[in-house]
Structure 1
Amino acid sequence: MSQNTAAEPGVQRPTITPLDIVRVLVLIAALASLALWGFGEWPMPWSIVVGIGAPVATLLIWALFLSPRPVLRLHPFLRAVVEVLIYVGVTLAWWSMGQAWAGIAFAVVAVTSGVIAGRRALD
């Protein structure tokens, strides 16, 4: 079975950069962190609600404002504010679990990738 690797006319495939991969990993880490925080830090009936609700709400906000093809387009400054608010929430979740260094490490990686991506979007 041979695959045709030649470009098809009229089809433009996006190029995936290492920064895109880091940003996807940051999003996955944020969702996993919020699920861990929700299931681990809340009492029983609320742990299910927060453990499922926090990652779903974060994913919904990401899809609405921050995805590559967002539903609602924002000014780049407001887009950065929404992104930073998500990162602050995840960092505070780590801190509330007693893992301040994990929260700081997440914040550094997330904000650095966000700044680099934001600078590339403005160019």
Structure 2
Amino acid sequence: MQSEDAKSRRNLGGEVSALTAGEQSLRDAPWYPARSGDVLTVRYAASGSEPACEQTYDVVEDNDGPLVLSLRSHTFPEEFAGSAGAYARGCLVDDPFFEPWMEVGPHWLAIERDGNGIVVHGSR
């Protein structure tokens, strides 16, 4: 992603700028913020000998009240199954989409609103 490219060039200003722009694009999305009942699907392209796969999360309220991702299912091969659910706790309280949005990128995400089948971002 842009921030990783800037980081590899040791361009701190470019990295901060890319991260800030990414966060702003999430917050500007018409469906933002996440709601309890939303469904997030994270897709990964095939790479080398690794097949394409995905993981699906439900947005739920944690015991303490904030929204978090809860892993519903994944299609990771057995040798990578331990990586499934990596976004389940997230890095920002009450913003479950932030980490996958920034890490994987919005073009690899699909978000279904309130679990009712209406995709508000990406595609199935």
TM-score normalised to structure 1 length:
0.29
Greater share of helix: 1
Could you say which structure has the larger radius of gyration? 1
